[in-house]
Structure 1
Amino acid sequence: MDISVVIPLLNEEESLQELHDWIAKVMQSNRFIYEIIFIDDGSTDTSWQVIEQLSKDNSSVKGIRFQKNYGKSQALDAGFEKAQGNVIITMDADLQDNPEEIPELYELIFTDKFDLISGWKKKRYDNVYTKNIPSKIFNAIARKTSGLHLHDFNCGLKAYKKEVVKAIKVSGEMHRYIPILAKNEGFTKIDEKVVQHQARKYGETKFGMNRFINGYLDLITISFLSKFGKRPMHFFGLWGTIVFIFGFSAAIYIGISKLYKVYNGIKTILVTDNPWFYIALTSMILGTLLFLAGFIGELIIKSKNDEKHYKIKEQLNF
């Protein structure tokens, strides 16, 4: 199979038929062997009924229906697991991504051998203050911290080599950082392509300003996990040891100082009246806790299983 188009959605009943027809037209005109995987992330409208009808009319349409709304990352993860195409294309269901971009994205992956191509909505039709400006700030921070020079990390239109989507695990709200996840797994041929962005035709956006706050927090998380996610002891154990040694050294100093003064008949205060006693005690306790956190983290990693953080209610054409 040439292409899998993975489309997560939430309450997009009005756009699905038009999006399907547009994608099918592009695929047929380019003679691609394809599949379209719609992932219904707990829609409360008739989106699933529309997908059911599309799957009956076109055997290339496949559907996954979640038990409830789990989030875009979980929807993408489910789609990635099922995708069979040599090239995987992701796009949003709101008709703001243009299917006419698919052939060129396919060529960049299949012919030019890129691992991942991220779309760049250079000209946007979103609200300037609630989406455009915050997005520019967010992307600048992501570039600085990740070392990936992409202009639009959050663009839903991306193309992947099959091996990439099978190697990464997308959970929480990490869909914004799939290029970073891919880079952390050793896929380094990552680039971007300017893509056409279109104004939303139906409905309203499902994302508010809180997504940027969550995005910054997720960026901190992924930056930490990229360095220490597989060996937490390297972080917690190191700092735990440093803090413990500081506290232990302070305790030794207090003890020696006390013995010296007693031996020479110098009047001294009680050890518990010395503020350094509490600094030393607190440091040793914190150091021990940090070290244990690293040790427990190692045990969790060794024993964890790959549980799915979503429940599939129905599937079509799989």
Structure 2
Amino acid sequence: MNISVVIPLLNEQESLVELHDWIVSVMQSHQYTYEILFIDDGSTDNSWQIITNLSAANACVKGIQFLRNFGKSQALHAGFHEAKGDVVITMDADLQDNPEEIPALYNMIVSQGYDMVSGWKKIRYDSLIAKNIPSKLFNWAARKTSGVKLNDFNCGLKAYRKNVVKNIDVNGEMHRYIPVLAKNAGFGNIGEKIVQHQARKYGETKFGMDRFLHGFLDLITIWFVSRFGRQPMHLFGSLGVIMLAIGFAFSLYLGIDKLFVNPDGRLITERPQFFIALATMVMGTQFFVAGFLGEIILRTKENRKRYLIKDKI
């Protein structure tokens, strides 16, 4: 099979038929073998019934329905698990991603040897203040922190080799950082393509301004996990050593001063250096304990389900 198209969605009943017909038209015109995977992330409208009808009419359409809303990352994880195509394309269900871009993305993976290709919505039709400016700041911070030189991390239109999606773990809200996850997993040949962005045709966006705050917090998380996720003691132990060294230095200073320099001076416990030494040594001990706990948790953690599937077609 050439292509798997993975489409996470939440309450997009108006656009599903039009999106399906558009994708099918592109696939047939290029004679691709394909499957379309709709991942219904707990929709409360008629989305699942429409997916069921599309599957009955087109054997290439498959669907997964979550029991409730678990988030876009979990929807992509489920879609990646089910995908059978040699190349996996992800796109949003709101018709803002153009299916006509699929052949070019597919060729960049197959012919040019990229592990993944990320879309870049260079010209956007979103609100300047609500989305464009925060998005630019977010992408700048992501580039500086991750080292992945992309202009648009959050574009839903992306293409992957099959072995990429089978070997990365998309969880929490990490769908924004799939290129970083791919790089950390060893798939470093990441390309970018300018893609056409279209104004939303139906309904309203499901994401508010809070997604940028969450995005920056997730950026810190993925930086930490990529640097210290396998060896948390390297971070917490280093901080612990620094704190204990500071505490020991102040303690040594107080001891020498009291015994040899100023034996008749104030009590050690009445001097501010004593409290600095005490606080830093306690903090250093706590950092060491956090590092030990992190190592223990890392070695004893169990794989737990992050979403529940209600139905599948």
- Which residue of the partner structure matches residue 9 of structure 2? 9
Aligned counterparts of 1:300 and 1:235: Cα–Cα separation in 2: 15
Deviation at 1:233, TM superposition (A): 0.8
AA at the equivalent of 1:279: I
Q: Is 2:256 the partner of 1:259?
A: no
Aligned residues: 313
Deviation at 1:257, TM superposition (A): 2.9
Deviation at 1:261, TM superposition (A): 5.6
- Which residue of the partner structure matches residue 134 of structure 1? 134
- Which residue of the partner structure matches residue 297 of structure 2? 300
Counterpart of 1:62 in 2: which secondary structure? strand
Contact 1:243 1:287 in 2 (8 A): yes
Contact 1:11 1:47 in 2 (8 A): yes
Correspondence 1:7-86 to 2 at 5 A: 7-86=7-86
Counterpart of 1:5 in 2: which secondary structure? strand
Deviation at 1:308, TM superposition (A): 2.6
- Which residue of the partner structure matches residue 245 of structure 2? 245
Q: Is 2:150 the partner of 1:150?
A: yes
Sequence identity percentage: 63
- Give CA-to-partner distance per residue, 1:213-257, whole Å, 9 cap, x none: 111111122122221111111111111111112212322332333
- Which residue of the partner structure matches residue 231 of structure 1? 231
Deviation at 1:268, TM superposition (A): 2.8
- Which residue of the partner structure matches residue 272 of structure 1? 269
Aligned counterparts of 2:33 and 2:231: Cα–Cα separation in 1: 42
Q: Is 2:287 the partner of 1:290?
A: yes
Counterpart of 1:313 in 2: which secondary structure? strand
Contact 1:261 1:268 in 2 (8 A): no
Taking structure 2 as the reference length, the TM-score comes to 0.96
Counterpart of 2:42 in 1: which secondary structure? coil
Deviation at 1:267, TM superposition (A): 1.5
Correspondence 1:175-254 to 2 at 5 A: 175-254=175-254
Aligned counterparts of 2:233 and 2:166: Cα–Cα separation in 1: 27
- Which residue of the partner structure matches residue 313 of structure 1? 310
Aligned counterparts of 2:186 and 2:267: Cα–Cα separation in 1: 58
- Which residue of the partner structure matches residue 94 of structure 2? 94
Aligned counterparts of 1:248 and 1:132: Cα–Cα separation in 2: 50
- Which residue of the partner structure matches residue 160 of structure 1? 160
Q: Which runs of 5+ in 2 are unaligned?
A: none
AA at the equivalent of 1:190: I
Deviation at 1:168, TM superposition (A): 1.0
Aligned counterparts of 1:304 and 1:207: Cα–Cα separation in 2: 32
CA RMSD of aligned residues (A): 1.3
Aligned counterparts of 2:73 and 2:217: Cα–Cα separation in 1: 15
Taking structure 1 as the reference length, the TM-score comes to 0.95
